[in-house]
Structure 1
């Protein structure tokens, strides 16, 4: 049996050589993400914002510009495919947890209708303004093989997203999940994101399809797969929920099923041509809906996914983010147009909708601020676009900035509109001193 000494590995074992390159990269990624995440918490921002910034800092904009040789040594060509695989697994499992954490059950008469109005006010204005911005910037930021409409709807779809998990986390931490604005925001954000994913699936199918026939094949297969997951697989997983209800814990067999279902679903949707995260999300929706099951699932899996795998995704995104390309009047003008379209469409659209439904201006602008955050969702969206060649590096970098700026502004704008002393119904979910939240259940989902 050959010796696996360090000398032998460095000298002749390619697998060990690759491992010795991957491990330092992951160590640096986790250290940087941990530090930046802690700094974000110190300035009253969500940890994920610091992790997003950490990914950009490790990319060519800062680390690559100051220490180009060190960055090439830390993230050589052989390491990047490994980071891509790890980030794809992380995203698939993350979207699985997002899907598993959704709870759309309405408790108040007319709530679904009002949530639909809020969702429409979050999608239609931002999608319209985004499409308009895309049509205007098509010749400036588009790739030659991407049509004007495809490019415009990609920009509109990206800007119509809401960071559902981050919004949920803020509401639960502040005890607002059961207030009327809180529940409407959660329901509307889930609908907004679902519509955006459907649009991305359609755009990806059109872009990758060999003509109309290929695109229709991808769309039909995706729709059929969704039906199978939400009807057949969902029923097949009911015994898993009953077993958990009986024992109160996940056994080894249950954990195998819980991990295999999203990964297999991701593999199948990747084969279909609409990226693995769609499969992960559908697998989450197919999971048993019992709140205790969903909370236990989140507790068991989210620590590894958010601590190990998501920072790898942020760094992989950061390695593709070239902010130095956003220079000159034309590019700065394009960034301003995209930022203005995204901010005005979502923030003011949702605020005005809430006001017309009878909420105060303070509550309306607070909800608009939360709905305006894009968080991790837009990064997943644009990484799929970049991977499939639907957008340029310049547009990718601009939308990364949109993600960071809208996420960073969400909580300050919310607090400015609705200080804690004016928040309605906080006592319903308020944390008592030394105690747990009355309703801190798993719909809070992954922290975004």
Structure 2
């Protein structure tokens, strides 16, 4: 009996020892897994903290549950000030409400990206871009939402520098033509002022003789002086001078006005502009651009302006729109030049119109050039795409025009083209600036 008990005890001890070993192994395994998980969490937190983009994680109800250092720095708020807030309190995103999650727990749309202006505290506005991604549970319900936020300050500054560089490049390209445009009125200003100067010398001598005659009218020499004055008047052809001098002065005035208009247009066109939108007359902007680009189109085309005199002013970046108008006008002139070289016809026609329709300011620039080949139409707004020879185009004009209209002004730029008949570009700009993307105090 004791022997049986002893064997059972030995078996029990073995089982206990085996269980202890299993527990020890499992404990070690759990410890290693926990340590690995801790290291993984620490590593992920380091990655999160080191990311240059801001990260905001929310629950399905848009309550912020996690942020990184970048978003705290961007918003000038501590992590504790952001956690627990509604996402809309942190970033005022247009059109995003807590109701975009429907009853099936699907985000509509599943992803979105947009630019935004925020104002952290008393700081200046900061341009950002944000995008959403969704973390789903195994049952496809939304577990969390992750928002990536990037500061666009440097990018926007580079874009402005690039735009200004392109504008200055355009000014350089137009300089010779502008000098020619100024030279013509300056020439007849000079010629007319020389004419007035020379004739005034003769008139001055005549006036001096008249004064002497008046002073000496009672003397015997008066008759001789009158004869001298009569001879001088006959040589001067006073009727001609009385007619031509006012005309010469008028022409000189017109020439000076022409030069002043070109200089004003050039000054307006090349001005670096404000970093904020300003109320602008697009009719004036178009007329200024037509003036500074005159030498680019006057030999190949006529320009027909049909600008609505009642066109309302809009909030915009005028310097950027000037560049868009210039690119489209020069492209139209080049298209007409290509058509003329192919079909040997007379001057072409560039039509520019402005109007107000359905709450939008609409600018149309059309030409009767050779049109855009069908195979190129889907690519004309692509950066660096050009069909022009090397040295005649960078492929940036229409790309930057598209970005300026759509991204900077929330507008549209559309076009229609028929090969051999011409192209028409239509720019649509909202009348009222959308201030809902500004965070205010």
Report the TM-score when normalising by structure 1.
0.20
Structure number with higher strand proportion: 2
Identify the structure with bigger relative contact order (alpha carbons < 8 Å, sequence gap 6+): 1
Q: Which has the higher helix share?
A: 1
Which structure: larger Rg?
Answer: 2
